[in-house]
Amino acid sequence: MTTQSSNSDCVDPQTARQFYIDGRWSLPAMPASVTVINPATEAVVAEVACGSEQDVDRAVAAARAAFAGWSVSSPASRAHILGKIHELILERKEILAQAISLEMGAAISFARAMQVPLAAEHVRVARDILSTYRFQTLEGSTAIEREAIGVCGLITPWNWPLYQITAKVAPAIAAGCTVVLKPSELSPLSALLFAQIVHDAGLPPGVFNLVNGSGPEVGGAMAAHPDIDMISITGSNRAGALVAQAAAPTVKRVTQELGGKSPNLLLPDADFAKAVPAGVMSAFRNVGQSCSAPTRMIVPRDRLAQVEALAAATANAIIVGDPQSEETVLGPIANEAQFKRVQVMIDAGLSEGAKLVCGGPGRVAGHEVGFFTRPTVFSEVDPGMRIAQEEIFGPVLCIIAYDSIDEAVTIANDTVYGLGAHVQSQDLQLARAVASRIRSGQVLLNYPAWNPMAPFGGYKRSGNGREYGVHGFEEYLETKAIVGFGV
């Protein structure tokens, strides 16, 4: 077994106790800190400054002052700096991967292959959009101008810490906005490294600001702040609703990417030998800690036994363990609270009478320390069960049987969420027809390659607004009509 020791010094301890405001590192207004826990060892690996309303005020003031100049800078100059940020992320990919593995338990191979490279792609896409995007168009004698919305408050989660930061920061600054970022206090180390990258890339002071802290304190202050023009949050439904409520009195734009309970619909003609293992791995990617994870596998009733056998074989072969081992596929759940939540939901599946195909409650054998969870598959799941309705956010898959395609579509849509969905069929025309009936912001046919230009966001309680590509970029723009422009 090849192992590599965790790098607990990936972030300088002195830097960790500061915020990045107005182009420099500065101490919080009031001394306070939060501990960062390595979920593989349950040991404290860092102390990070915890902000307050005063720190948000300073960051917003810096962003507001910088907006006047940055918003009228040329697209070419903004693209140049985004290009530098992209280069620096790739140059520092190893320390970023180590930080992500340390702070939220991602297997180091997954951090290197997915967490960091996909984060870099969001920056590249934002840079490239600037080379072709038309900020002014003419419709007869009327000019339609797209202008930066202003100061943006960005709130990001712990599960894809760097990826979610770049998905918001890159299009925001590309559009000419200035930003205040609050990363998750549970996985803040990669955010601190990103702040240094932004600084080293030469972004003007005040364009990017970072304040660590809790959601209620820092996130709440950002949402309510009268000088923030837009809030973008990725997080839980509860957090999204609270942010929207706090933002309502100032009538700022709010975009939300929230929870999901995504279906994976296997049509009768699907290649089950390929579709089932790929579906299990897709559901369990990042230890199941993805809002769009396809954790409801909807299959023909007469293929249920075959699906159970294929799913069990796939799940039982997954190596769960030390995230620093090159052999590890899944590391631990990212934090204790989420580990407990997953255990509660596994117990709920058992108590409601779902059939346990593999896995189950408790830690992985041989890992009494760390939040290591057994990859778990339930079958004979009724669509009304808690495990079929509530987001679990862990390596737990529900197999649900159907008798007709109409029933399968009904089951797929039987959720308050609508973020992502999958459809598997060897008949592409049929897959397209079924996809058009599913109420979600994104539908993936036959496990396609990830597309950073494809808009991502939710229907129903999965949120509003879109991220990625041109659609995500345009969320940070206002529309102005100049009537009589061509007269």
Residues 300-312: tens digit of each pLDDT: 999 999 999 999 9
At residue 5, does pLDDT exceed 60? no
pLDDT single digits (tens) 211-270: 999 999 999 999 999 999 999 999 999 999 999 999 999 999 999 999 999 999 999 999
Cα 294 to Cα 106: distance, rounded to the nearest angstrom: 19
Rounded to a whole number, what is the distance in angstroms from the first to the last CA of the chain? 74
Q: Which of 16, 190, 172 is nearest to 101 (CA)?
A: 190
Provide the pLDDT for residue 14.
87
Set 103, 185, 257, 308: catalytic member: 257
Stated pTM of the model:
0.96
DSSP E strands in 87-186: the ranges are: 136-139, 142-148, 151-155, 178-182
Instruction: Specify whether the CB–CB gap between 261 and 459 falls below 8 A.
Output: no
At residue 386, does pLDDT exceed 70? yes
Instruction: Specify whether the CB–CB gap between 62 and 183 falls below 8 A.
Output: no
11: its two tokens: 């972030």
Please state, as a whole number, how many other Cβ atoms lie within 10 Å of the Cβ of residue 368.
9
* Cα-based torsion angle of the residue sequence 85, 87, 88, 90 in order, rounded to the nearest 10 degrees: 120
Set 10, 152, 177, 291: catalytic member: 291
CATH 3.40.640.10 for the 13-258+463-481 domain, yes or no? no
Half-sphere exposure of 100 (CA within 13 A, CB side): 30
257 is catalytic: yes
358 is catalytic: no
Question: Rg of the chain over CA atoms, in angstroms?
Answer: 23
Instruction: Specify whether the CB–CB gap between 221 and 228 falls below 8 A.
Output: no
Q: What are the boundaries of each domain within the chain?
A: 13-258+463-481, 263-451
At residue 7, does pLDDT exceed 90? no
CATH of domain 263-451: 3.40.309.10
| Measured CA distances, 180 to 168, 204, 211, 257, 322 (Å) | 11, 14, 7, 18, 34
345: its two tokens: 């939901």
Instruction: Specify whether the CB–CB gap between 189 and 103 falls below 8 A.
Output: yes
The whole-angstrom distance between residue 436's C-alpha and the CA centroid of its chain comes to 25
Mean pLDDT of the chain: 96
Cα 180 to Cα 67: distance, rounded to the nearest angstrom: 12
Cα 118 to Cα 288: distance, rounded to the nearest angstrom: 17
The pLDDT confidence band at residue 487, using thresholds 50, 70 and 90, is: confident
